[in-house]
């Protein structure tokens, strides 16, 4: 996440002068990577390692750093449990706006409880340093996974659906994330195999309520990641759930193509977001239907997009592309390299209607056999020789023996 000062962007239509307030180079900003200032802060914040935060969290290892905070692996001494602790970067600790954003991330996460959103367990201030405590996730970021190439189709479909499930829940709770990108999406490795996507970093989350952003954004400043930033976030217009839809669709584009939709230095990225349509996905077969879906989700006019991630998810599900479906509040456990195995089903017990139909068929068969047999007897016992055949039949049934009577004309 970086901060930019963009004078009169709307009038220049994508030729803004972006002043990087975070010290990032243009290439680093496009990647969402920490710049020189961020790297310096990371080395300084390594001094936390070995210390006990708030008398409860023993800091063990640095896991990473973003634009506002450094994340450490720590151990809760009372519970003897591994956790992740995020500490506000030193250069931001004296800035009231930065502290407010950090506190707002804790408040936003405290409202959320969903399998595809990172869970927070504690927050506070120790030695005048704000911190928050989250579940420790084993796995890798989606950005690291994409560096190895696009995932298999079934995994890409799973991750798209899980992203929309988590983001849809966030929108349902009245929040906008405002910084959806691969670096803020984590692929948690599941004990039983497979991965589960989780949304991270709610430092820019905004409540969809009047005044929710008051005093936290200066005029002319834009916060976010240029490669995934919707046009209205660049121009400073109103941001809502449709802004997240735009960014999420760009992540999905990358999942299925293995490349970013828009590339270049920050000014070129802004121009493309403002005027360039989504590049072709070049998908074939049933997957080709995704192109129209993602084009609508990335329309430059947010009025033409899906209203929120839940609407986009409903349209995605209607395509019936995936062989596995995740429940809205249940983790998806699809394998990473092969389609999900079909679920075992119990043998069905015969229904009452089926038994009656089977019995009726047996009765009909018996009746037909009786009719055929009776017809044969009638044919046998009738006619000129019928009397002699009847006499023989009667004696056979009574158990008596006698010489058969000669047929007339045979004496």
Active site residues: 179
Count the residues in the chain. Answer: 411
Q: Cβ(275)–Cβ(14) under 8 Å?
A: yes
Angstrom distance (rounded) from CA 27 to CA 227: 11
Angstrom distance (rounded) from CA 79 to CA 72: 17
User: How crowded is residue 96: how many other Cβ atoms within 10 Å of its Cβ?
Assistant: 10
Q: Cβ(257)–Cβ(282) under 8 Å?
A: yes
**DSSP states along 246-265:** HHHHHHHHHHHHSS-SS-SS
**DSSP states along 165-222:** HHHHHHHHTTEE-S--SGGGEEEEEPTTSSEEEEE---TT-EESSTTTTTTTS-TTEE
Chain center to CA of 160: 5
Sign of CA dihedral 134, 136, 138, 144: positive
Query: 164: closest CA among 314, 340, 307, 273?
Result: 314
Angstrom distance (rounded) from CA 16 to CA 11: 9
**At 402, phi and psi to the nearest 5?**
-165, 160
Q: Cβ(23)–Cβ(36) under 8 Å?
A: yes
Angstrom distance (rounded) from CA 141 to CA 187: 6
Q: Cβ(163)–Cβ(185) under 8 Å?
A: yes
The three-point CA angle 362-363-369 to 5° equals 90
Three-state SS for 292?
helix
Angstrom distance (rounded) from CA 76 to CA 214: 35
First to last CA, the chain: 121
């Amino acid at each position: 996440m970086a901060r930019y000062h963009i004078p009169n962007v709307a009038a220049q239509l994508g030729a803004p002068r972006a002043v990087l307030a975070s010290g990032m180079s243009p290439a680093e900003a496009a990647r969402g990577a920490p710049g020189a200032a961020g790297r310096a802060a990371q080395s300084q914040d390594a001094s936390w390692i070995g210390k006990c935060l708030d008398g409860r969290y023993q800091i063990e290892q640095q896991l990473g750093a973003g634009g506002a905070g450094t994340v450490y692996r720590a151990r809760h001494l009372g519970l003897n449990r591994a956790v992740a602790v995020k500490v506000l970067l030193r250069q931001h600790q004296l800035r009231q706006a930065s502290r407010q954003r950090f506190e707002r991330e804790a408040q936003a996460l405290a409202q959320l409880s969903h399998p595809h959103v990172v869970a927070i367990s504690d927050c506070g201030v120790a030695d005048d340093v704000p911190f928050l405590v989250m579940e420790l996730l084993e796995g890798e970021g989606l950005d690291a996974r994409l560096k190895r190439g696009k995932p298999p189709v079934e995994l890409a479909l799973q991750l798209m659906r899980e992203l929309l499930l988590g983001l849809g829940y966030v929108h349902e709770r009245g929040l906008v994330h405002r910084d959806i990108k691969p670096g803020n999406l984590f692929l948690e490795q599941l004990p039983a195999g497979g991965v589960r996507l989780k949304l991270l970093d709610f430092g820019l989350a905004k409540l969809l309520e009047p005044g929710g952003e008051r005093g936290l954004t200066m005029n002319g400043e834009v916060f976010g990641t240029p490669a995934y930033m919707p046009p209205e976030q660049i121009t400073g217009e109103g941001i809502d759930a449709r802004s997240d839809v735009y960014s999420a669709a760009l992540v999905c584009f990358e999942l299925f193509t293995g490349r970013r939709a828009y590339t270049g230095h920050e000014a070129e990225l802004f121009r493309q977001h403002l005027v360039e349509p989504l590049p072709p996905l070049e998908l074939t077969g049933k997957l080709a239907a995704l192109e129209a879906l993602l084009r609508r989700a990335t329309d430059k006019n947010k009025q033409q997009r899906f209203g929120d991630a839940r609407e986009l998810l409903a349209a995605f599900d209607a395509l019936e592309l995936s062989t596995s479906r995740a429940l809205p509040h249940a983790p998806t456990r699809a394998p990473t390299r092969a389609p999900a195995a079909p679920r075992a089903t119990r043998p069905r017990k015969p229904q009452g209607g089926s038994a009656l139909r089977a019995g009726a068929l047996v009765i009909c068969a018996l009746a037909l056999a009786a009719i055929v047999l009776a017809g044969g007897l009638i044919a046998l016992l009738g006619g000129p020789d019928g009397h002699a055949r009847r006499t023989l039949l009667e004696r056979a049934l009574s158990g008596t023996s006698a010489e058969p009577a000669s047929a007339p004309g045979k004496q």
